[in-house]
Structure 1
Amino acid sequence: MILLMENNIIQQLAHLRTKCPLVQNISNFVVMNNTANALLAIGASPIMSHAKEEMPEMLQLVNSLVINIGTLDVEWAKAMIFAANCANELQKPWVLDPVGAGISKLRNETLKQLLDLHPTVIRGNASEIMALHSFETATVKGVDSTESSSTAIDAAKSLNKTFGSIVCISGEIDYIVSDNEIIEINNGSPLMTKVTGLGCSSTALIGAFLGLGLNPFEEAAAGVAVLSLAGELAALKSNGPGSLQMNLYDQLYQMDTATLEDKLKIKRYAYSS
């Protein structure tokens, strides 16, 4: 099964670099540059646009949509909800990054409306995933997680059952949860937590792989796996957060079959609900 998953990701990466999927990003001010560069480095093409008025035309063109609520305001919230509706009408896959879920009424109400539109994939840290599951009991620390990723698995299963979304939990171990299977990825580096927006970059890469239009569960896993492995390899060559960010783009650009076969730590197993 491990070899099969590696082969799936290798094939998806090759397909992505051939297709160069166009990814619409409604993202936040902090990470726009980072995520656009990550998408370019892996072989996708980013559009960073937020105006509600151009969403119908944009969604006609793109292969997938990424919604990241990091620097939310009322007008952006309207654009996000409108874009998600457009994506659904056009049958385009979309991924939701619930940055800071649980920290404010505006954020929570926006997320509730977005969840009701059934994202193809949700990606967040453990605290964000647990907040999506139960806003009333959420324990948060800004946009940082207060929980280990494994503690959010039950919340992820519940979100999948309610909304049908593949749920990705980022942390020391990354988990990708479907209705009957879980993929675990044991790559990454603690140094990645010292660079802002690498979780958002993972979300953007998920969006790129979703643009292939094949298997959302496996595409979500590919996006998480490639970013986590690139971060791990970049950390080995870095003296600190600044050089990590630079080296990460290079590792994404250089990611190849041999590296995935040799370095990827992944397993896939079934579960019963």
Structure 2
Amino acid sequence: MDLISGVWESLKAVRERSPLVHNITNYVVMNNTANALLAVGASPAMVHAREEVAEFAAISQALVVNIGTLSPEWVEGMRLAIQSARQSRVPWVLDPVGAGATRYRTTTAAELARQAPAVIRGNASEVLAVAGEAGATRGVDSTQSSEASLDAARRLASSLGTVVAVTGKTDYITDGSRVVAVDNGHPLMSRVTGMGCTASALVGAFLAVEPDAVLAASRALVVLGLAGELAAEQSKGPGSLQLHLLDVLHTLDEATVCARARVR
């Protein structure tokens, strides 16, 4: 199966199986990511309480941990959910939002990254911070290009035995040896809050149906980038982009994927 046909096969599998994706994510993006998961065919759950996260992670098909709005209680919930997911062999995704901005955020991201995530998905500055390398950040926004962090991503993936997906103008996905590049996307996507968080959530959904984490992350990012392109063609600005994006995720078909996916 080639890279492009594999995108469609995984998207079709998500729609057919409707995997349960457990999200411990931030207040800003809960609605966005839940709707994106529903639109692509998955079943989202936003479950955060320490009293139930372990139990819920064990019955899910994937776990997504997003550190966007940190608090000690939520971090403890993340630890419990991750431990349960690992014991139950549930793949999980780490989104180290804003790593590098503060010491607490950076050390939390680095700690969680050592707990065997299937995929770490972040922008260039976040990946550099998790890797312990110099890279300025501006809050949750990257000040680096995805290309600038590719070498660090490869080293991080090799050292942790995980897959690192760096998103930007071009998305790079690597396990330290293989590298996949995804060129789909549109500049208007950067004007909508939480688009990276949506990317991480979709990676979780694709991990639920594709055990190869490089392929799962690559295919999820192709789908989101392609949906962003198609949505932008119908949109006057970021407000309408959000609406059209959900529609495209819901209606994306095999012919469009095969004609417009740009993955190498």
Please state which band the TM-score falls in when normalised by the shorter chain: over 0.9
Q: Tell me which amino acid in the other structure corresponds to 1:139.
A: A
Q: Does structure 2 conserve the Cα–Cα contact (< 8 Å) formed by 1:67 and 1:80?
A: yes
Q: Which deviates the most, 42-51 or 208-217?
A: 208-217
Q: Which residue of 2 aligns with 1:177?
A: 174
Q: What TM-score comes out, normalization by structure 1 length?
A: 0.94
CA-CA distance at 1:139 after TM superposition: 1.1
Match of 2:159 in 1: 162
What is the CA distance between 1:213 and its match in structure 2? 4.6
Match of 1:109 in 2: 107
Q: Which residue of 2 aligns with 1:230?
A: 227
After TM superposition, give the deviation of residue 56 of structure 1 in Å.
Answer: 2.3
Q: 2:72 aligns with which of 71, 74, 91?
A: 74
Q: Is the 8 A contact 1:81 1:113 kept in 2?
A: no
Distance 2:15 2:231 in 1: 21
- Give the Cα separation in 2 of the matches to 1:80 and 1:60: 13
Gaps of 5+ in 1: 268-273
2:118 to 117, 120, 134: 120
SS at match of 1:117: coil
Counterpart mapping for 1:192-211 below 5 A: 192-211=189-208
- Could you tell me which residue of structure 1 aligns to residue 187 of structure 2? 190
Q: Which residue of 2 aligns with 1:97?
A: 95
State the distance in 1 between where 2:5 and 2:210 align: 18
Where 1:158 maps in the other structure, the secondary structure is: helix
What is the rounded CA distance, in whole Å, between the counterparts of 1:138 and 1:185 in structure 2? 23
Q: SS of the counterpart of 2:2?
A: helix
Aligned equivalent of 1:271: none
Q: Which residue of 1 aligns with 2:6?
A: 8
Of 31-40 and 182-191, the range deviating more from structure 2: 182-191
AA partner of residue 33 (structure 1): N
1:112, distance to aligned residue in structure 2 (A) = 2.1
The equivalent residue for 1:43 is 41
The number of equivalent residue pairs is: 264
TM superposition shift of 1:243? 0.3
What is the alpha-carbon root mean square deviation over aligned residues?
A: 1.1
Tell me the alpha carbon deviations over residues 191-213 of structure 1, each in whole angstroms, 9 at most, x when there is no partner: 01100001110100000011115
Q: Secondary structure at the match of 2:176?
A: coil
User: TM-score w.r.t. structure 2 length?
Assistant: 0.97
Q: Which runs of 4+ in 1 moved over 2 A?
A: none
Question: 2:80 and 2:135 mapped to 1: Cα distance?
Answer: 27
What secondary structure sits across from 2:52 in the alignment? helix
Task: Give the counterpart letter for 1:83 in structure 2.
Answer: A
> In the aligned structure 1, how far is the partner of 2:22 from the partner of 2:7?
22
- Percent identity reads 46
CA distance in 1, matches of 2:188, 2:132: 30
Mapped contact 2:54–2:83 kept (Cα < 8 A): no
Secondary structure of the structure 2 residue equivalent to 1:53: coil
